[in-house]
């Protein structure tokens, strides 16, 4: 079967005559060939910015192929943003418009590194941009982290977002849960753990996730930050949203509301910090004096603790049975130091949300301390610090897992600017024919989804959503397909070879 012949070729804008290696990349005889690895916001923004660059407006021809290891595009938006965040999920609409224009080819379900190597890509493309993100949990090296019931927050996110490579079942047996970290991922994890499953039915959560959450016996989720309320890394909107979950009470502790000189300064000068400290303080003031479970009206509680630094996860018979913290105090600069006083909380599960960490995409130098590809402003560097010609990075794999999705636009602009500055020095691809990479994937039996394949899968998920709406009485825009095989089968109608 000839896969994606017409569609992806049409998208590549492949000229009638085969482009030759001799012609200058970007000339009218042959476009500049660029491979972008990763179709999350970072990759799509880079591709979009390149197509709209001044150089392109002035006649530079470009032909961009976007690769993703998953059959569906959108990376972190599909597999990292919580399902009850439709506003952020809505960024998909902007990314869709870019990819639907027809000038960028999409190759989903292609793993760069195994299905096709970087060396091979370099024979087909003049430049390669890594936009592979950071998807793993940062480590938390405390005793007991390996116990059954101790989880990485990012893994849980992957589960509730229906990631194809994560087991379908998630053990949700704990009544009391600790979430470590005061960033937005900790908020997502704690909110998803504490929310009632029926309140998530309006979202795109897969059926297995609904069933798992529905069976959860959870009553109390505790979020622990190692510093104070003025040092949280949440953002105001996400924090306020915590109070919107039905039948979930927020519980705060007055002794945790400690502010040092640096806190006061941050509250005075930083709107976000001020807003969040006000939100937290208002919740504290409004809550009843007695917040013991028997006295709170809701059936579930979400506790926010500050000045708690995790020391050890304790276990019984190999399973989590509690967590020990050292209480901390602020040192005047906003940092925390231990007080020597220990506290223990009985919990049956611990989720660490202490940041994401990038993984080495292979064949490029990797900074194992920071979890990023070694780079200077997006130019990938060799071990000796010199730029590797034609190889670039953008997004979280370039600068680490910080910042909101919109921040990756600035990143992409910087990377693309360097790429265009380097135009004359790019190592021209030996085989710039856009058909060549299609031929290689076909010869290897790689079952990739093209853009049309994704559109098929997309519409299949919407049909599932409509069916679930008719059946369950709750309006659902889509229901996500989880397994890779099912995704490829749904995409097959167009062009995936299964
Ligand atoms: P993050 O914002 O960097 O937060 C990490 C948290 O973990 C911090 O509170 C940090 O405390 C704490 N931490 C680190 N090491 C620790 C340790 N050893 N013990 C105890 N606590 C520790 O990371 P994130 O939550 O993974 O978020 C990553 C990025 O994605 C952020 O930019 C975030 O805003 C973004 N994001 C946004 C949304 C949204 O907009 N809705 C949703 C999810 C993620 P310290 O501050 O003391 O280091």
Determine, yes or no, domain membership for 168.
yes
Tell whether 191 and 329 lie within a shared domain: yes
Determine, yes or no, domain membership for 173.
yes
Residue range 14-20: average pLDDT?
57
Tell whether 178 and 243 lie within a shared domain: yes
C-alpha to C-alpha distance for 110 and 410, rounded to whole angstroms: 27
Please determine, for residue 19, whether its predicted confidence score (pLDDT) is greater than 90: no
- Position in ligand 1 atom list of the atom nearest CA 232: 9
Ligand 1 pocket mutation pick from 79, 144, 184 by most atoms within 8 angstroms of CB: 184
pTM: 0.92
CA-closest residue to ligand 1 atom 33: 184
Tell whether 113 and 192 lie within a shared domain: no
- Position in ligand 1 atom list of the atom nearest CA 141: 18
Residue range 210-215: average pLDDT?
96
C-alpha to C-alpha distance for 38 and 52, rounded to whole angstroms: 19
Q: What is the pLDDT of residues 32-78, one digit of tens each?
A: 999 999 999 999 999 999 999 999 999 999 999 999 999 999 999 99
Residue indicated by tokens 């034609």: 390
C-alpha to C-alpha distance for 26 and 161, rounded to whole angstroms: 39
* Higher pLDDT, residue 269 or 295: 269
Confidence at residue 362, expressed as pLDDT on a 0 to 100 scale: 81
Tell whether 190 and 277 lie within a shared domain: yes
Among residues 355, 379, 414, the one where a domain terminates is 355
Confidence at residue 497, expressed as pLDDT on a 0 to 100 scale: 43
CA-closest residue to ligand 1 atom 4: 183
Determine, yes or no, domain membership for 476.
no
Determine, yes or no, domain membership for 473.
no
Tell whether 151 and 72 lie within a shared domain: no
Percent of the chain with pLDDT over 90: 82
**Å from CA of 497 to ligand 1 middle:** 40
Please determine, for residue 1, whether its predicted confidence score (pLDDT) is greater than 50: no
Using CA atoms, how far residue 112 sits from 131, 139, 288, 370, in Å, is 12, 25, 55, 22
Tell whether 410 and 437 lie within a shared domain: yes
CATH number, domain of 420, equals 3.40.50.720
- Position in ligand 1 atom list of the atom nearest CA 403: 32
Please determine, for residue 153, whether its predicted confidence score (pLDDT) is greater than 50: yes
- Position in ligand 1 atom list of the atom nearest CA 336: 47
Output the ligand 1 site: residues, CB below 6 A: 85, 88, 140, 180-186, 188, 225-227, 231, 233, 235, 238, 310, 353-356, 401-404
Among residues 355, 386, 416, the one where a domain terminates is 355
Among residues 301, 336, 355, the one where a domain terminates is 355
Tell whether 342 and 247 lie within a shared domain: yes
Tell whether 152 and 277 lie within a shared domain: yes
Using CA atoms, how far residue 466 sits from 262, 460, 462, 478, in Å, is 52, 10, 6, 7
C-alpha to C-alpha distance for 314 and 344, rounded to whole angstroms: 9
Indicate the number of domains in the chain: 2
Expressed as residue numbers, the domain containing 259 is 138-355
Determine, yes or no, domain membership for 498.
no
Ligand 1 pocket mutation pick from 152, 161, 181 by most atoms within 8 angstroms of CB: 181
Please determine, for residue 345, whether its predicted confidence score (pLDDT) is greater than 60: yes
Tell whether 325 and 216 lie within a shared domain: yes
CATH number, domain of 254, equals 3.50.50.60
**Å from CA of 484 to ligand 1 middle:** 30
Determine, yes or no, domain membership for 157.
yes
Residue range 5-20: average pLDDT?
52
Do the Cβ atoms of 74 and 97 come closer than 8 Å? Answer: no
Determine, yes or no, domain membership for 23.
yes
Cβ atoms within 10 A of the Cβ of 299, count?
A: 12
Determine, yes or no, domain membership for 460.
no
**Å from CA of 481 to ligand 1 middle:** 29
Percent of the chain with pLDDT over 70: 93
**Å from CA of 233 to ligand 1 middle:** 6
The candidate with the shortest Cα–Cα distance to 232, out of 184, 178, 303, 301, is 184
Tell whether 347 and 370 lie within a shared domain: no
Rounded mean pLDDT of the chain?
A: 92
Task: Quickly state the pLDDT bin for 282 (edges 50, 70, 90).
Answer: very high
Please determine, for residue 9, whether its predicted confidence score (pLDDT) is greater than 80: no
Tell whether 304 and 157 lie within a shared domain: yes
Tell whether 91 and 66 lie within a shared domain: yes
């Amino acid at each position: 079967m000839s896969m994606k012949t017409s569609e992806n070729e049409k998208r590549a804008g492949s000229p009638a005559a085969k482009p030759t290696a001799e012609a200058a990349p970007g000339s009218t005889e042959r476009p500049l060939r660029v491979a972008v690895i990763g179709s999350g916001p970072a990759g799509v923004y880079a591709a979009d910015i390149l197509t709209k660059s001044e150089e392109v407006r002035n006649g530079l021809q470009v032909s961009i192929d976007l690769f993703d290891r998953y059959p569906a595009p959108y990376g972190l938006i599909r597999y990292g943003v919580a399902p009850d965040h439709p506003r952020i999920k809505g960024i998909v609409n902007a990314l869709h418009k870019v990819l639907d224009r027809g000038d960028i080819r999409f190759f989903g379900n292609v793993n760069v590194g195994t299905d096709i190597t970087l060396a091979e890509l370099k024979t087909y493309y003049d430049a390669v941009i890594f936009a592979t993100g950071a998807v793993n949990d940062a480590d938390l090296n405390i005793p007991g982290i390996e116990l059954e019931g101790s989880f990485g927050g990012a893994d849980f996110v992957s589960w509730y977002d229906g990631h194809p490579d994560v087991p379908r079942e998630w053990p949700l047996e704990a009544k009391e849960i600790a979430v470590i970290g005061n960033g937005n991922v900790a908020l997502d994890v704690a909110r998803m753990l504490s929310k009632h499953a029926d309140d998530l039915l309006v979202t795109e959560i897969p059926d297995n996730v609904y069933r798992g959450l529905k069976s959860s016996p959870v009553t109390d989720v505790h979020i622990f930050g190692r510093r104070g309320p003025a040092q949280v890394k949440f953002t105001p909107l996400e924090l306020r949203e915590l109070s919107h979950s039905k039948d979930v009470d927020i519980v705060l502790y007055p002794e945790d509301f400690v502010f040092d000189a640096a806190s006061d300064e941050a509250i005075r000068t930083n709107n976000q910090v001020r807003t969040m400290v006000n939100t937290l303080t208002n919740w504290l003031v409004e809550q009843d004096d007695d917040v013991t479970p028997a006295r709170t009206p809701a059936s579930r509680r979400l506790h926010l603790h500050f000045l708690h630094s995790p020391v050890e996860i304790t276990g019984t018979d190999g399973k989590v049975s509690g967590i020990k913290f050292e209480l901390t105090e602020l040192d005047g600069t906003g940092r925390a130091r231990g007080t020597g006083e220990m506290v223990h909380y009985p919990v049956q599960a611990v989720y660490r949300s202490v940041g994401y960490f990038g993984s080495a995409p292979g064949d490029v130098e990797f900074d194992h301390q920071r979890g990023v590809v070694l780079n200077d402003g997006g130019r990938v560097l060799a071990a000796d610090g010199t730029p590797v010609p034609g190889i670039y990075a953008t997004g979280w794999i370039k600068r680490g897992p910080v910042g909101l999705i919109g921040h990756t636009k600035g990143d992409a602009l910087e990377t693309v600017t360097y790429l265009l500055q380097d135009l004359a020095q790019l190592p021209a691809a030996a085989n710039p024919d856009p058909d060549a990479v299609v031929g290689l994937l076909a010869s290897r039996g790689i079952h990739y989804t093209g853009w049309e394949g994704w559109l098929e899968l997309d519409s299949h998920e919407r049909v599932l959503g409509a069916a679930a709406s008719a059946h369950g009485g709750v309006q659902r825009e889509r229901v996500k397909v989880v397994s890779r095989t099912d995704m490829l089968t749904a995409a097959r109608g167009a062009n995936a070879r299964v």
